[in-house]
Structure 1
Amino acid sequence: MMNQDTIAAIATAVGEGGIAVIRVSGPGAVSESAKIFRSKSNIADASSHTVHYGHIVDPQTDEKVEEILLTVMRGPRSFTAEDVVELSTHGGVVAVKRVLELLLRQGGVRIAEPGEFTKRAFLNGRIDLAQAEAVIDLIRSKSDRAFSVAMKQAEGTLSKRVKALRHNLVELLAHIEVNIDYPEHDVAEMTSSYIREKSEEAVAEIDRLLKTASEGKILREGITTAIVGRPNVGKSSLLNALVQENKAIVTDIAGTTRDVIEEFVTLGGIPLRLLDTAGIRETTDVVEQIGVERSRAALTDADLILFVVNAAEPLQADDYKLIEQLGGRPVIVLLNKTDLPVVADTEELAARFKPESIVRLSVLQEQGLDQLEKVIADMFFGGELESADLTYVSNVRHIGLLHQAKQSLIDGMEATASGIPIDLVQIDVRTAWEQLGEVIGDSVAESLIDQIFSQFCLGK
């Protein structure tokens, strides 16, 4: 499904750096680049996967614009399965923009749309849709573990399991089809028990994939974690300690934090989207009131709440109000300032929350943060992450389609048990097969493909 257009875009982040790369893909990638590239070698005849030193020259003025390395990759042995040229210029905004503008000025190349290189790799059959979506997960990874999960999906581990599932369903559909067309032949003893057996095997495999969905989604998107507590208990100090940077202003003045501050941090391989909130209390300060309302909203949306208590002071009315609001939520109580004599009613906290979710720490002395890591891992991953060889399902679209395919198979089994003719049962099995096909892009609407790739950055 080769494209006729030749496209180009800057593939590296814009800004100062050692080098910048312009990626060109399409049938005219080599010939169009040759119009502005001067070297001792003729790149029009260059072999695939070769690098050439030379200069970018303006054909109209013969002015040398830039000194570059040009890499030629002939299709289908390239990322897009088309002819690809990469122009490596000096880093910086001016150099790379001048080269790209000169290339586009020749008339045979257009600027690429977001994600168009990866989209072409998918359309040309080099990767399937699940692998293509893993590319954006690689770019957005917030932790080493999330990167490893995305890398495995990009290599096709999830796709292989989905394809195996679809292959088994195709065999079941074939048996049903033969039994419908030739009822006089009891082919493979096509009975209700046979349909149930094969469907149960498929459902069991889908369940094995879905078992990792919550962990995979966390690794992909991070745990939205709200740091809450009354004013001046050490919330902002905790954020700074976790981020290892002075992101939030810390003073002895209550109400210093007026808005929700957001940062990403990784604890023990688990990505956390930290929300440092304004101290929740009754106040007449109009600006602080807005911050408190935003804190309450963050409290509602959070997957995990870090409830910070000043251990060196008795529990106060604002603490008790928060305790009432946190009932039934995933909460870790952080007894901060334990380097001082502990005065807070720890028995009261132990009665209100699970004892294993109460962590003693001193942000000032950087003590107890390792225990916090352990408690988070216990809460979300049963103490530790699964084996590195496990295929995680992390994409919300994939999770939804797997649930739909599972339900279609369950509907088919229930229809079989009710004595419904197998030609109607076949509809449910085929629906499950098609839903699994949407995961890898074998059966998916063009509008969805456009929507998926529009989320990519330019040059990818």
Structure 2
Amino acid sequence: MLVTVMRGPRSFTAEDVVEIGAHGGVVAVKRVLETLLAQDGIRLAEPGEFTKRAFLNGRIDLMQAEAVIDLIRSKSDRAFAVAMKQAEGTLSKRIRELRQSLIELLAHVEVNIDYPEHDVAEMTNAYIRERCGKAVEEIEKLLKTAKEGKILREGIVTAIVGRPNVGKSSLLNALTRENKAIVTDIPGTTRDIIEEYVTINGIPLRLLDTAGIRETTDVVERIGVERSRSALEEADLILFVLNGSEPLHEDELELLGKLKDRRMIVIVNKSDLPQQIELEPIKAIVPEESIVRMSVKAEQGLDDLEGAISALFFEGQLESHDLTYVSNVRHITLLKQAQQSLRDAIEATEAGIPIDIIQIDIRNAWEQLGELIGDAVGESLIDQIFSQFCLGK
């Protein structure tokens, strides 16, 4: 057994911490834990308590604390790298720089309010527009990363749809490199939605293999078809699988037409067999670059599919030199609110509104940015954030 003593304030929580490393398997660990819990004043940690203590003691800010959750939940190397950057404080630093520029602006405005005889309203309004405009631009840069960041954090919900026996389950197995779904020549084999996570070019995909969409009298299969239609509504990306060795069915063309405004890649499967499908009606609905020929059975075309998915969401590649992504919904919401407050301040200067009223909008933006890093946040929100952690973090 190894006992390590870490003295505050150099520990993660900035408090005195004792770590016990017990050898011998689960039974030994359990008995050590039982012995400790029998002592007065010792209890099990609450979810996220260690990270919460680190935040409350000023070791990390709230954005860094939330990044710990993202590290735990990372579904790809890229998502892990982005979360690590946030945990190191890269994003927090940019928020603090923004707040510093706004507090300097507020100080300038305050002087003009206290000494109006030295104020030239037109010059002050121009200064406010300039500084607020720069802050709006900086927030806009961060918000532009929100779509990619959210995808890296949560994954792309991807529905694999099509008629029975076109190769949907085979595609799932090929992408996961495992036999997750049962594959037979019998129509209606897949009755329920099968869910799996895969990573393609650093992008996590939450794959939903759905039941073949067709009219059926089988009660169980009909339920599966309805669930498939529900999965279509939920999906960020649709992989529409067609059988290239047979003519295009009327109901397939009809469904393609209904989904034409969605992010979709049409996979013409079984390209290793003599082709009977006519592509012109499909090209009238879907861009040619979103049509991929494959033979899942012969393992042909997987690279083309992965490239099409990357191009659809990230214009072919992710920026490798900058991992400062905004991915948290709370962060996105507060950034948008701060941006709007700054725009309101700019509009107010143009409308000739008194400077002490304009100051309120600038202060609102400063406080909203403060909520991001935890400088101005309620206890209930803190409890809600840390309740999402697992024990021991």
Give the TM-score taking structure 1 as reference length: 0.84
1:166 touches 1:436 (CA, 8 Å); kept in 2?
Answer: yes
Task: Name the counterpart of 2:145.
Answer: 212
Task: Tell me the CA shift for residue 373 of structure 1.
Answer: 1.1
Q: 1:77 aligns with which of 2, 7, 10?
A: 10
Distance (Å, rounded) in 2 between the aligned partners of 1:184 and 1:259: 75
Task: Tell me the residue number matched to 1:106.
Answer: 39
Distance in structure 2 (CA, Å) of the matches to 1:424 and 1:226: 50
Structure 1 residues 145 and 338: CA distance shift in structure 2, 3 A:
same
Matched, 1:431 2:364: yes
Shift of 1:318: 3.1
Matched with 1:151 is: 84
Partner AA of 1:184 in structure 2: E
Q: TM-score, normalised by structure 2?
A: 0.98
1:321 to 249, 254, 268: 254
Match of 2:278 among 337, 340, 345: 345
C-alpha deviation, 1:324, in angstroms: 2.5
* Shift of residue 444, structure 1, vs aligned partner: 0.7
- CA contact 1:179–1:190 (8 Å) conserved in 2: no
Deviation at 1:188, TM superposition (A): 11
Pairing of 1:77-96 with structure 2 (within 5 A): 77-90=10-23, 92-96=25-29
Q: Which residues in structure 2 correspond to 1:183-332 (within 5 Å)?
A: 183-186=116-119, 190-332=123-265
How far did residue 92 of structure 1 move?
4.0
The one-letter code matched in structure 1 to 2:334 is L
The AA in structure 1 aligned to 2:211 is A
Higher relative CO (Cα under 8 Å, sequence separation at least 6) belongs to: 2
The structure whose Rg is larger is 1
Identity of aligned residues (%): 75
RMSD (Å), alpha carbons: 1.3
**Counterpart check, 1:397 vs 2:330:** yes
Inter-partner Cα distance in structure 2 for 1:93 and 1:253: 46
TM superposition shift of 1:206: 0.3
Q: How many residues align?
A: 393
Flag structure 2 segments of 5+ consecutive residues without an equivalent: none
Match of 2:293 in 1: 360
Runs of 4+ in 1 over 4 A off after TM superposition: 187-190
Cα pair 1:249 1:256 within 8 Å, conserved: yes
Write the distance in 1 (CA, Å) between the matches of 2:271 and 2:8: 63
Q: Deviations over 1:265-293 (max 9, x none)?
A: 00011100111111111111111111111
Offset of 1:187 from its aligned partner? 8.0
Q: Is the 8 A contact 1:210 1:399 kept in 2?
A: yes
The alpha-carbon deviation at position 415 of structure 1 amounts to 1.1
Match of 2:350 among 417, 437, 454: 417
How far residue 189 of structure 1 moved from its aligned partner, in angstroms, is 7.7
How far apart, CA to CA, are the structure 2 residues paired with 1:238 and 1:95?
45
Amino acid in structure 2 at the alignment position of 1:218: I
How many Å apart are 1:79 and its aligned residue?
1.1
SS of the residue corresponding to residue 246 of structure 2 reads coil
Question: The residue matched to 1:241 in structure 2 has which SS?
Answer: helix
Q: Please say if residues 434 and 443 of structure 1, whose CA atoms lie closer than 8 Å, have aligned partners that are also in contact.
A: yes
Q: In structure 1, how many angstroms separate the alpha carbons of the residues matched to 2:9 and 2:303?
A: 49
Per the alignment, residue 136 of structure 1 pairs with 69
Instruction: Mark the runs of 5 or more structure 1 residues left unpaired by the alignment.
Output: 1-67
**Structure ranking higher in helix proportion:** 2
User: Alpha-carbon deviation of 1:388?
Assistant: 3.2
